[in-house]
Amino acid sequence: MKFKKLSALLLSGAMCLSIAACSGGGETTPAPTTPAESGAPTESGAPAASDLNVAVFYYNYSDAFISNVRNEMDAQFEAIGITPSNYDGNTNQGTQMDQVNTAIANGANVLVVNAVEASADETTQSIVDAAQTAGIPVIFFNREVSDDVVNSYELAAFVGTDPAEAGHMQGELIGNYLVENYDAVDLNGDGVISYVMFKGQENNPEAEYRTQYSVEDANAILEEAGHPALSYYDSAASTQYLVDPNGSWSAAAAQDYMTTILSAYSEANGNMVELVIANNDDMGLGAITALQTAGYNQGVDENGEPLSTNIPVFTVDGLQGIVDAINAGTATGAVGQSASGLASAVVTLVQNYQADGDLMSNTEGMNVDETVAKIRVPYTTVS
């Protein structure tokens, strides 16, 4: 296939907040089906819509953004007459691989995968190999999969974002805000802004790039304005970020971290954390909960005046919870990604496959990488 870089962007849609109840993987494993038995394309053409058996694998239902994607995916598949079978990997790659094999054995003829360990090529390649053996397509989404894995199979594709884009956009938001509000943010008046970074998960491309570029780009803006670079709150730390130990990017992890931090770092001690950077909304909201418990980030009154000292909090995802927090004055800004845009691109590829057996045959108007079947859904800003 030949892929062309196109200038138009996928339209970002509204994000649904309700969480639908979905089924998990089956407990029994019947004999594997052949491509023809599973409804995969044969020499006579692609399967009819009524023959499509779509299995969607999520890394973790409890992830707020993934819950929105699941709601959107369910609704958009239902709109074209497909009821997908959904599986919760529960942040366990072994569980997810078992679910993939079970779904194929049960007759799934389209795999849509939000990989638990997307950065591990051997893991995602195993999923591709299973799809190729069955003669069915696999569409990865949200968590970046390597070009080599996608290019290893004609019926493999990826739908997601540009991992670096969110970091650059977040850094610009942070840098510009600090330049405009430097003295107010610099609580101890030492001329340097101290920050905490909630990274999320190690070795995840989105987490890596958001962590790197949000700080680098903010520093470039600060230094151009004559201010020093950001300073990590704990100068003795071996890494300048905190990760969720369960790999779930959770509010609970960030709240626990922030509560512990605030027991030692405070205005009274002259070392208060003056900026929170979180690589998703949930971790930002968890940090806000801890800040509010300590008397910070109480919002604004009817005249827009702050009710307390507010520590700026910046996040990525832009879901309704953080939008509400921004409107209430308890959060500062966010980079938003579109759950509906992501779901729409996945559903389009499934429709392409149903129409002529080629996932990428109808991708005009989308941002497609030049040398690999990857579609990029753009981010937005919320502030």
Answer yes or no: are the C-beta atoms of 107 and 54 closer than 8 Å.
no
Domain that holds residue 135: 35-161+338-382
Q: How many domains does the chain have?
A: 2
In a domain, 314, yes or no: yes
Distance, in Å, from the CA atom of 58 to the CA atom of 63, rounded to the nearest integer, reads 9
Q: Which two tokens stand for residue 124?
A: 């995602």
How do residues 237-246 score in pLDDT, each as one tens digit? 999 999 999 8
In a domain, 11, yes or no: no
Contacts of 347 (CB under 8 A, 6+ apart): 73, 76, 77, 80
Question: So what's the pLDDT on residue 46?
Answer: 60
Question: So what's the pLDDT on residue 17?
Answer: 30
How do residues 8-64 score in pLDDT, each as one tens digit? 333 333 333 333 333 333 333 333 333 334 444 444 356 665 689 999 999 999 999
Distances in whole angstroms, Cα of residue 220 to Cα of each of 172, 175, 194, 208, 383: 9, 8, 16, 18, 20
- Shared-domain flag, residues 119 and 220: no
Count the Cβ atoms, other than its own, within 10 Å of residue 36. 13
Which stretches in the chain have pLDDT values below 50?
1-44
Distances in whole angstroms, Cα of residue 244 to Cα of each of 49, 201, 207, 260: 41, 6, 11, 14
- Shared-domain flag, residues 174 and 270: yes
In a domain, 182, yes or no: yes
In a domain, 15, yes or no: no
Question: So what's the pLDDT on residue 6?
Answer: 33
Kindly report the pTM of this predicted structure.
0.81
Question: So what's the pLDDT on residue 132?
Answer: 98
- Shared-domain flag, residues 184 and 302: yes
Question: So what's the pLDDT on residue 50?
Answer: 63
Degrees to nearest 5, angle at CA 82 with 346 and 378: 20
- Shared-domain flag, residues 269 and 352: no
* DSSP-derived pairing of the beta strands 110-113 and 138-141: parallel
- Shared-domain flag, residues 281 and 321: yes
In a domain, 368, yes or no: yes
User: Domain boundary at 336, 353, 369, which?
Assistant: 336
- Shared-domain flag, residues 289 and 359: no
Distance, in Å, from the CA atom of 291 to the CA atom of 140, rounded to the nearest integer, reads 37
- Shared-domain flag, residues 321 and 358: no
- Shared-domain flag, residues 311 and 323: yes
- Shared-domain flag, residues 170 and 152: no
190-208 in b/e burial notation, b at 16+ Cβ within 10 A?
eeebbbbbbbbbeebbbbb
- Shared-domain flag, residues 287 and 329: yes
- Shared-domain flag, residues 67 and 45: yes
Question: So what's the pLDDT on residue 383?
Answer: 78
In a domain, 267, yes or no: yes
Q: What CATH number did the domain enclosing 288 receive?
A: 3.40.50.2300
In a domain, 27, yes or no: no
- Shared-domain flag, residues 93 and 223: no
Distance, in Å, from the CA atom of 58 to the CA atom of 70, rounded to the nearest integer, reads 8
In a domain, 215, yes or no: yes
Question: So what's the pLDDT on residue 25?
Answer: 37
